[in-house]
Structure 1
Amino acid sequence: MAWEEVAQRKRTQREQCIHAFRRLINGAHKRRTTIAGKLVGHVEVPALTKMYATGEVSVEDVVVAVILQAIEAHEKTNCLTEPLFESAVERARELDQYYRKTGKLVGPLHGIPMSLKDQFDIAGVDTTFGYVGRAFRPASEDAPMTKVLKDLGAVIITKTNVPQTILWGETENPMWGLTTLPDRPDFTAGGSSGGEAALLSLDGSLCGWGTDIGGSVRGPSHFNGLFGLKPTSSRFSHRGVPGPHEGQEHVPSSVGPMAKRLSSLVAVTRAVLNSQAWLQDPKVVPMPWREAIYQEVLNRRLRIGLIVDDGIVEPHPPVQRAVREAAALLRKAGHEIVPWDTSEHMSFIEIQDQFYRADGGEDIRREIAGAGEPMLPHVEALVASSKPISVYDYWQLNRAKVRAQQTYNTKWDDAGVDVLLSPVAGHAALPHGCFRYTGYTKVWNFLDYTALSFPWTIVSKHLDSHDVNATSTTDRDRSAGLSNPFNAYNRRLYDLASMDGLPVGVQIIGRRFDEEKVLAVAEILQSEADKSTQKATG
C-alpha cells in the first residue's frame, strides 16, 4: 500500500473519532458541560482535585468540556493524532462511580484530563511519532508512564502531533501534516512537542507530557506561553516511549510535563515522583519527591547565575528584556545575581551534534523505508550530513563528553550558584521553516541537567526596539566569529511587527536531579511577578 493511502486512512480515522464524539454530546450534556467549561483555562490541578473531593463537579463533565476544547484547538492548529475521547469519557464515568460509592478519590490526579505526545505507548493505540511506517501497529501494553498516570487517576484524552524523526524544533510530518501556533497559522508551534504545546495553549488539556532531547519540551512551551520541565533523564520513566536513535544513551531523552499553570506542573511532578515508578522501570532512579528541598529553597536567599547571551547567538531584544526583567525582580527580592560564563557551550554543541549523527543516519533511513514516505527537507539534510563513526571514535566522543561534564560540575561548585537564569531560545516563535539554533536548550541535555521553561512576557512593539542591534550584550568575539552563520541568520529573523504579542519565556536551570529546587525557584519567581503585577495595577 502506498504511503499516501496509509496516511489518508489514519487521518480519516482521526476525523471519524472527532465526529463520533460530537454526535454523542446531547443537549443535557451540553448544559452540564457549560458549567464545567467555565473552569477550563482557569482551574489548576490542585483546585480541581479539591472540587472533585467535595462533589462540586463531576469528572465526566470536566472531561467532556476539555475534549470539546481539544477539538476546537485541533481545528485551529492540527495538533491531535490519536483522539481517545470515547475511552476517556468511559474512564471519567468509572471515576465518578468510584467517588459516589466511596466518597474518595482514586489518587492525587483523580479526573485530571491529560494528553500525551505521540511517543507514549498506550495499549491498543498506534505510536507513530511522525512515521507512516509505524501506522496500524498498535502498542501491546501501556508504557510505565502511561500506567502510572492512569493509576494516579488521570484521564488520557488524546495523543498529539510531532515532527518526522522527533529531532526538530517545528512540528510537521507526512502523515499528520503541519501543526501551527494558535492564532498565528503562519508561525510554528515549535517542536518536537509542538502538538502538546498548541493543545495546552488552547485549554484542550490540563497537563501534557512530552519528551526533550534538545529542547523539545522547553522550546514549544516558550513559543506557546507554557511551563515546561525537562528533568534529569532518569527521574521519569522513558520505557515504552520510543523515539529516534533508540538504544543510544550518550544524549538521553527526558520525559517531562507541560502545563499552563505552575501549580499544575508542580502537582503532577510531585504525584508522579511519589508513584515509585522505579518498580516498573529499573532505569528510573529510586528518588521520590523531596519536599524538604522544595521548602528549604523557598525560604532562603539564592545565588543565581545570569545568562543573557550565550556568545554564539545574540537573542532578539524581547528575549533579552525578559531575562533582564526576571533577574531584576529576583535581585529586588534579595537574591544575588551573578554573571555566568558560557565559553564552553559551543564545544558542547559540537560534541552533541556528532552524537546525533553517529549512526550515519541509519536509524532514520530504516524508519522512512517502512512506508517510503518522503523525507522532509530538514530530515534529508540531517541524514545527508551524517557519517557513521567507528566504535573507537564513539568511545572518544564519550570520553570528551564526560570530561566536559566534569569540568562544568567543578565550575558550578566553584561559583556556588543555586540555579542559572537564561533565555529559552534566541527568539520567540518563528514563521514555518525558519527554526535553526537550539543552543540555549540542548547544552542542558548534554549535561543532563534539570531545566524549566517559564512563561514571562510577550513581544511588545511598545517595549521592544525595532533594531536588533539596540540591546547588544557583549563586545567579545562570538564563537566561530562575530558573523557566524547561526548569529547572522538569527538577526535576519527579527521582525517586531509580525512578532508583536508572541509569548516569551525564560529558562531556569539546575544541576542533575534538581527538579525540586528548579520548581521552587520558579515558585519564587512567580510569587515576585504576581506581587509586581498587583503593585502596578494598584
Structure 2
Amino acid sequence: MSARWQELVADKKLRQTASIPKIWLITSPPDSVLDVRKVPDECGLLTPKEVVITNTIEVQTILANLATGKWTSLEVTLAFYKRAIIAQQLASLVNCLTEIFVERALARAKELDEQLKATGKLAGPLHGLPISLKDQLSMKGLETTMGYVSWIGKYAERDSVLVRILYEAGAVPFVRTNVPQTLMWSETYNEVFGRTLNPANRKLTSGGSSGGEGALMGMKGSPLGVGSDIGGSIRIPAGYNGLYGLRPSYGRLPYAGATNSLEGQDSIPSVLGPLSNSMSGIKIFMQAVSASKPWLKDSLARYAPWDASQYTLAEHGGGKKLCFAIMWNDGQTIPHPPVIRALEMTKNAVLAAGHKVVDWQPYKHKEICGAVYSIWTAGSKEDYASVADITGEPVLNTMEIEAEHGSAPNSFLPHQENVTAHKLWQTQKARTAWRQEYLEHWNETGRVTGTGRPVDAVISPISPYGGAPPHGKSRNVDYTAVWNGLDYSACVFPTTRVHATLDMKKSPHQFLNERDKTHYSMWDPQTFWNAPVSLQLVGRCQEEEAVIAMTEIVDAALKKQQVSKL
C-alpha cells in the first residue's frame, strides 16, 4: 500500500484548487439559496458578451458564429470556462468538475482562431466549440481517477479514441466532470472530489453516473458534453437537470481508450453519448463523430455512417403522421405526480400536432431489469475491490449524506457471490430470448396504430421520481436500464418542472408491490421543489437518427403547446 488514501485525496484537491485562476472566484451564495442557475449571470464575473455567449443554448448557432468570425473560439472557450468555474467554486456551488486545464484549452482555441484567420478554412464540423467530458475520457497527460482514490497519479499516455476524434473535428475539450466511484450509481459522489449537487435545487441529486456533466450543463457551463450510459447514466442526469441526452445502441460511438468499471463484461456494454441544452447539439455531435469513421479507429465500433434516410424517417411515414406509445408505468412502480403530468402534456402536444397516441404495455420489464442487474453484479464486488484495495480506500455502499465515509446499508445493487460461468450464461441466454420476444411485442402493435406499421417510438418516464430526488434517494433505475438490456436507442427531453399545486400528493392507488408503496410515500412537492421533469423517447435498436428526428418532433410540439398557453 502506498500513501494513505486520505493523503492522496488532500494532495489531489490542492492541485485541483491550484488549477483554478483566482480572478475567476466569486463569493458563493449561502446554502439557503437552492436554485443557483442564475448566479453566473448575476455575479459580475462574466462580461455582457460572455453572458450572451453562454446563454446561447443552440449549438448550431454557436458554431455558425464561430464559422463567420462573429465570435472567436478563444472568447467562446473563455466564456464557458469562466462559467464552468463559477459552477465549481471550490465545491461550494454545485461541485461538478474534476480536471481543469485552462492553459491547454485556451491555447487550443487560439490555435484554431489563427488557423481560420490564415486559411479561411474551418478545422472541422465542431470548429472552435468547447466540449466537456465525463471523467472517463482519457486525455494525454491528465489523470483519470473515475472517482477512485487508487487512480490518483495515474496519467494517460494518449487520448482516448473519441477525444482524438473531437480534436480532429475542431473541438476544444476544456474540462472533465465528476462521477460516482465505480460509475455504477444514479447519483454522483466519491471520496476524491465529493458530491455533485443539482443547480435547480442543491438539496437534490444531479443524477449519475454522468452527474458532473448534468450539473455543468444545468448551469450552462458547457454547450455540449459527453457522458456514458450502462443503465441510465446519460439519461438520468440529463433528465434530472432538464437537458437533452442520447443513449445510442452498442458500438455506435467509439469507447476505446476510455477508463471504465466492469471491463470484460460485454453482454451489456456501456455506451458513450452526448448531453446538451439543445437538440441541435445532440444531432451535430452524432453527425460529426459518424463522419470521422470511428469504426476504423475502434475495433468494437460498428460501421454506421450518418443515415440521412433514417433521419428523414423514411421508414416512419416520413414523420408526417407518427404513432407514439405512452408507457404510463412499467408495471412495478407508479411514477410520482409530475411525471404523470409530463406524460399527459406530451400526449396532448403530439395529438395537437397531428400524430397518434396509443398506450404501451410493458413486457417483462421486471425480468429484463433483473437480468441486467444480475449481469452487472456477477463480478462487481471483485472488480471494485481490485482497484480500491490498492490504497485501502473504502468501496462506497451508500450515497446518503449522513453516511459519507460510513457503511450504512443500501439495497440499490447488492453484489452476487460465487456466480459460475454457466449460471451467468443462463442469465444472458434468458435476456437474449426476452429481446426477441420484445421485438415481436413491438411488431404486434401494428394492429392498433392505424398507420400500417408498428408504433414509431415509445415515450416513457426516465425514472419514477418526480424529478431529481434528494441525495442518497435515487435507487430506482428500472425505467432506463430496461432499454439497455434491450439495446434500444433513447433520447431524453425536458418537459416541465415540479409545481406545488399541480403536483399535490394523490390518494393512494392500488399498490403494485411493497416497493411501489414505499415509493408513493416518498412524494412531497416541497421536497422536490423546482426539480426539472423529463421523459425519454425510445426507438428500436440502432435507430439513433430516427430517435433524434422523432425527439425533435415531440420537443417542437411541446414548445408550441407551451407558447400557445402563454
With structure 1 as the length reference, what TM-score do the two structures score?
A: 0.93
Partner Cα distance (1:535, 1:174) in 2: 48
Specify every segment of 5 or more residues in structure 1 that has no aligned partner in the other structure, as ranges: 24-29
| Match status 1:349 vs 2:380 | no
| Match status 1:209 vs 2:226 | yes
- Equivalent position of 1:465 in the other structure: 504
- Equivalent position of 2:78 in the other structure: 64
2:283 to 253, 266, 269: 266
Partner Cα distance (1:208, 1:383) in 2: 27
The answer as to whether partners of 1:34 and 1:65 remain within 8 angstroms in 2 is no
The answer as to whether partners of 2:58 and 2:278 remain within 8 angstroms in 1 is yes
| Match status 1:402 vs 2:432 | yes
Partner Cα distance (1:425, 1:137) in 2: 35
| Match status 1:527 vs 2:556 | yes
The answer as to whether partners of 2:200 and 2:241 remain within 8 angstroms in 1 is no
- Equivalent position of 2:398 in the other structure: 378
Q: Which amino acid aligns with 1:531?
A: K
Partner Cα distance (1:436, 1:462) in 2: 26
Deviation at 1:535, TM superposition (A): 2.2
Q: For residues 51-91 of structure 1, what are the alpha-carbon distances to aligned partners after superposition, in whole Å with 9 as ceiling and x for unaligned?
A: 12221111101110100000111121111000121111000
What secondary structure does 1:394 align onto?
helix
| Match status 1:439 vs 2:478 | yes
Deviation at 1:238, TM superposition (A): 1.2
Superposition pairs of residues 107-506 of structure 1, within 5 angstroms: 107-296=124-313, 299-359=319-379, 361-378=381-398, 385-415=415-445, 416-427=454-465, 428-467=467-506, 469=508, 472=509, 482-485=512-515, 487-506=516-535
Q: Which amino acid aligns with 2:162?
A: M
Q: CA RMSD in A?
A: 1.9
- Equivalent position of 2:541 in the other structure: 512
Q: Which amino acid aligns with 2:560?
A: K
- Equivalent position of 2:7 in the other structure: 5
Q: For residues 370-416 of structure 1, what are the alpha-carbon distances to aligned partners after superposition, in whole Å with 9 as ceiling and x for unaligned?
A: 21112223397578632131111121111111101111111112211
- Equivalent position of 2:114 in the other structure: 97
Q: Which amino acid aligns with 1:13?
A: R
| Match status 1:54 vs 2:57 | no
Deviation at 1:31, TM superposition (A): 10
Partner Cα distance (1:31, 1:180) in 2: 22
With structure 2 as the length reference, what TM-score do the two structures score?
A: 0.89
Deviation at 1:262, TM superposition (A): 1.2
The answer as to whether partners of 1:144 and 1:240 remain within 8 angstroms in 2 is yes
What secondary structure does 2:233 align onto?
coil
Q: Which amino acid aligns with 1:525?
A: V
Judged with a 3 Å threshold, the aligned counterparts in structure 2 of structure 1 residues 299 and 407 are, in CA distance, closer, same or farther, namely closer
What secondary structure does 1:378 align onto?
coil
Deviation at 1:171, TM superposition (A): 0.3
Q: Which amino acid aligns with 2:559?
A: D
Q: Which amino acid aligns with 2:394?
A: P
Specify every segment of 5 or more residues in structure 2 that has no aligned partner in the other structure, as ranges: 26-43, 400-406, 446-453
What secondary structure does 1:211 align onto?
strand
- Equivalent position of 1:26 in the other structure: none
Judged with a 3 Å threshold, the aligned counterparts in structure 2 of structure 1 residues 356 and 32 are, in CA distance, closer, same or farther, namely closer
The answer as to whether partners of 2:24 and 2:85 remain within 8 angstroms in 1 is no
The answer as to whether partners of 2:497 and 2:533 remain within 8 angstroms in 1 is yes
Q: Which amino acid aligns with 1:462?
A: T
Judged with a 3 Å threshold, the aligned counterparts in structure 2 of structure 1 residues 370 and 41 are, in CA distance, closer, same or farther, namely farther
Partner Cα distance (2:24, 2:543) in 1: 43
Point out the more displaced range, 171-180 or 494-503. Answer: 494-503
What secondary structure does 2:225 align onto?
strand
The answer as to whether partners of 1:21 and 1:86 remain within 8 angstroms in 2 is no
- Equivalent position of 2:565 in the other structure: 536
Q: Which amino acid aligns with 1:529?
A: L
Deviation at 1:489, TM superposition (A): 2.5
The answer as to whether partners of 2:310 and 2:543 remain within 8 angstroms in 1 is no
The answer as to whether partners of 2:66 and 2:72 remain within 8 angstroms in 1 is yes
Point out the more displaced range, 389-398 or 312-321. Answer: 389-398
Partner Cα distance (1:191, 1:490) in 2: 20
Deviation at 1:43, TM superposition (A): 4.0
- Equivalent position of 2:20 in the other structure: 18
What secondary structure does 2:262 align onto?
coil
| Match status 1:74 vs 2:88 | yes
Partner Cα distance (2:46, 2:524) in 1: 45
Q: Which amino acid aligns with 2:544?
A: E
Instruction: Flag the structure with higher helix content.
Output: 1
Q: For residues 12-39 of structure 1, what are the alpha-carbon distances to aligned partners after superposition, in whole Å with 9 as ceiling and x for unaligned?
A: 111111136749xxxxxx9995424322
The answer as to whether partners of 1:419 and 1:508 remain within 8 angstroms in 2 is yes
The answer as to whether partners of 1:360 and 1:389 remain within 8 angstroms in 2 is no
Partner Cα distance (1:221, 1:489) in 2: 25
